[in-house]
């Protein structure tokens, strides 16, 4: 079945597979409405914040991250906007899909596993080259119309020497500001 599906204000166009209840959003992003037998296995809760929980998980044999947020959360809209706009950047984890079990009040972002936080105490003890990579990542994200609003050591991950920025729950869409007064930019 083909159609439009409303996810908290986002209208997603795609195909609905009634056997697996999967909405194909783009070639690489799926919204799993009712997954049936678990294909996503949670392994550990690694963060329990104000509105979100983050888990390590395995999806079809591959390690992934599952970040769950309430359906009614503004974080859902902000994060979905950010991942849709920034998914092609090498400093942002790929959004592999959305996991939305029927009857639950939350939706999960299934994300590429991009390593561990650079530190929980701050940026004080990191190498200058890593600092430069973080700055370049933030500049690239801003260049694509998103202001992260929470660049902290817990939201900067490293894997194989590459820096990744995560957690766009506080992000602001600045694309409308590109031609506005400079004071509009954060």
Tens-place pLDDT, residues 113-125 = 999 988 765 677 7
Between 30 and 151, the higher pLDDT residue: 151
**pLDDT cut 70: percent of the chain above it:** 73
SS3 104: coil
Give the model's pLDDT for residue 100.
Answer: 78
Are residues 42 and 53 in contact, defined by beta-carbon separation less than 8 angstroms? no
Q: Is the pLDDT of residue 19 over 80?
A: no
Domain boundaries along the sequence of the chain: 2-112, 116-184
Residues 65-94: what's their mean pLDDT?
A: 91
Segment (H or E) for 81:
helix 74-86
Closest CA to 49 of 81, 85, 73: 73
Closest CA to 96 of 65, 126, 135, 141: 65
Are residues 92 and 136 in contact, defined by beta-carbon separation less than 8 angstroms? no
Distance CA 173, CA 77 (A): 11
28-37, 47-56, 132-141, 148-157 — which is least confidently predicted?
28-37
Q: What pLDDT digit, counting tens, does each position of 34-50 carry?
A: 445 547 788 999 999 88
CATH superfamily assigned to domain 116-184: Transferase(Phosphotransferase) domain 1 (1.10.510.10)
Neighbours of 120 (CB within 10 A): 8
Residues 80-100: what's their mean pLDDT?
A: 91
Domain 2-112: give its CATH architecture: 2-Layer Sandwich (3.30)
Distance CA 109, CA 79 (A): 9
């Amino acid at each position: 079945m083909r159609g439009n599906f409303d996810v908290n204000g986002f209208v997603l166009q795609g195909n609905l597979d009634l056997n697996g209840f999967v909405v194909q959003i783009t070639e690489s992003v799926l919204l799993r409405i009712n997954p049936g037998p678990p294909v996503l296995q949670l392994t550990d809760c690694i963060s329990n914040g104000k509105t979100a929980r983050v888990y390590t998980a395995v999806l079809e044999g591959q390690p992934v991250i599952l970040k769950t947020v309430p359906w009614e959360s503004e974080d859902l809209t902000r994060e979905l906007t950010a991942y849709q706009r920034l998914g092609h950047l090498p400093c942002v984890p790929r959004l592999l899909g959305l996991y939305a079990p029927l009857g639950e009040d939350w939706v999960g972002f299934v994300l590429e596993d991009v390593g561990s936080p650079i530190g929980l105490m701050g940026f004080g003890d990191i190498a200058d080259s890593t600092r430069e990579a973080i700055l370049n990542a933030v500049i690239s994200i801003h260049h694509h119309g998103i202001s992260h609003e929470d660049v902290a050591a817990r939201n900067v991950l490293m894997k194989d020497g590459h820096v990744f920025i995560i957690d766009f729950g506080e992000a602001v869409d600045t694309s409308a500001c590109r031609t506005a007064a400079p004071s509009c930019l954060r």
